[in-house]
Amino acid sequence: MKIAVIYGGISTEHDVSIKSAKNVINNIDTNKYDVTPILIAKDGSWYKNGKLLKNIIEELKKVDVVFPILHGKFGEDGTVQGMLEMHKIPYVGCNVLASSICMDKIYTKIILDKAKIKQANYIYIKDENIYVDDEFEELELENDRIVELVEKKLGYPVFIKPSRSGSSIGIKKARNAQELIAGIQKAAEFDSKILVEEYIDGRELECAILNGKAIEVGEIVPGDDFYSYEAKYNNKESMVIVPAEIKTEIRNKIKYLAEKAFKVVDGTGLARIDFFLEDKTDELYINEINTMPGFTEISMYPKLCEAGNINYKDLISNLIESAVK
């Protein structure tokens, strides 16, 4: 079977995608699959074996399955998935709908709210100073009014996140008004839609989903104040604990909620679904859904599958075979 692994992309997660693709290519079963790596450069150009591709669709139609190991905008957000579906090219991962929903943290929250899955409280800001209320009415506010709103509805600390970004890029933690405004301005560098979210004091837990089934739960122990991009990829003190050392009933509830959330967003293939476990109450809060989780050496998703008795090579084969069913 011929497989095209697409990687790179024009998002801020270009380098992470390259690391993920390298691991997938190194672990794919070459006795079963003939692999063609295809790089999307930061300027959006597509390359095969170092040569510029002039007819991308024609090249992709030569393979049986595409594995788009792309993170972030224009890769994980339904755009590439839509292109492949238009040309009836099978691919690994979530469909257009799930990919586009889950790339947008705000719209993920709106949909999961409908399913009554508990989440941290939040405020939706557009373009730094436009507050979007629960009925989607927009109100332009000065900085002091935004501060007042956040302090009244959420309190400190809060997290400020670009709504459509991954790998914790652009995320800041704010403990006061000055940090809040600076965090909003920073997030606006990455996205016009900004999520301001209440802080949940607890543990960070992640669950792997494979073809709709929860595999295992792991814990993130950040080497920094939170699991930022630096803490993920550059801080050697950050740790992952697989499986997570939690009560059986909590593990089972996480698996149930992960499967439910995956179904609610119409997920297919794979996802990593993240939760907070509040220290004081043992309450679970869903954090986000990643429809193309990292496959790097330190990434949680393959570690969780390994703990569920699915080794890396079998995991890749499972995803490829599921794409053509």
Q: Assign residue 181 the CATH number of its domain.
A: 3.30.1490.20
Residue 193 sits in the same domain as residue 85: no
Nearest alpha-carbon partner for 93 in 71, 117, 61: 71
Whether the Cβ atoms of residue 251 and residue 175 lie closer than 8 Å to each other: no
Pick from 23-37, 73-87, 164-178: least confident: 164-178
How many Å apart are CA 78 and CA 82, to the nearest integer?
A: 6
Domain membership of residue 23 as a residue range: 2-92
Residue 30 sits in the same domain as residue 161: no
How many Å apart are CA 304 and CA 51, to the nearest integer?
A: 36
Q: Residue 213: inside a domain, yes or no?
A: yes
For residue 167, pLDDT beyond 90: no
Residue 110 sits in the same domain as residue 254: yes
Q: Residue 226: inside a domain, yes or no?
A: yes
- pLDDT of res. 222: 79
Q: Could you count the other beta carbons within 10 Å of the beta carbon of residue 156?
A: 15
pLDDT tens column, 208-264: 999 999 999 999 997 666 544 554 555 567 789 999 999 999 999 999 999 999 999
Whether the Cβ atoms of residue 170 and residue 188 lie closer than 8 Å to each other: no
- pLDDT of res. 230: 57
- pLDDT of res. 228: 46
Cis peptide before 157 (omega within 30 of 0): yes
Q: What is the mean pLDDT of residues 171-177?
A: 95
Residue 148 sits in the same domain as residue 248: no
Structural domain ending residue among the three candidates 170, 198, 226: 198
Structural domain ending residue among the three candidates 198, 225, 247: 198
Helix (H) or strand (E) holding 302: helix 300-307
Q: What is the mean pLDDT of residues 291-308?
A: 94
Nearest alpha-carbon partner for 230 in 171, 164, 186: 171
Q: Residue 170: inside a domain, yes or no?
A: yes
Residue 34, classed as helix, strand or coil, is: strand
Residue 110 sits in the same domain as residue 212: yes
Residue 299 sits in the same domain as residue 185: no
Residue 318 sits in the same domain as residue 213: yes
For residue 315, pLDDT beyond 60: yes
Q: What is the mean pLDDT of residues 101-130?
A: 95
For residue 55, pLDDT beyond 90: yes
Q: Residue 168: inside a domain, yes or no?
A: yes
Residue 111 sits in the same domain as residue 205: yes
Query: Would you place residue 312 in the very low, low, confident or very high pLDDT band (cuts 50, 70, 90)?
Result: very high
Instruction: Tell me the CATH number at 81.
Output: 3.40.50.20
Residue 60 sits in the same domain as residue 133: no
- pLDDT of res. 166: 67
Asked whether the whole model's pTM tops 0.75, one would answer yes
Q: Residue 232: inside a domain, yes or no?
A: yes
Structural domain ending residue among the three candidates 198, 221, 237: 198
| 282's tokens | 């043992």
How many Å apart are CA 261 and CA 115, to the nearest integer?
A: 8
Q: Residue 39: inside a domain, yes or no?
A: yes
For residue 298, pLDDT beyond 90: no
Residue 185 sits in the same domain as residue 255: no
Query: Would you place residue 149 in the very low, low, confident or very high pLDDT band (cuts 50, 70, 90)?
Result: very high
Q: Residue 97: inside a domain, yes or no?
A: no
Q: Residue 20: inside a domain, yes or no?
A: yes
Q: How many domains are there within the chain?
A: 3
- pLDDT of res. 234: 53
Residue 160 sits in the same domain as residue 126: yes
Instruction: Tell me the CATH number at 289.
Output: 3.30.470.20
Percent pLDDT > 70 in the chain is 95
Give Cα separations from 111 to 105, 233, 250, 301 (angstroms).
10, 30, 23, 24
Q: What is the mean pLDDT of the chain?
A: 93
Residue 85 sits in the same domain as residue 15: yes
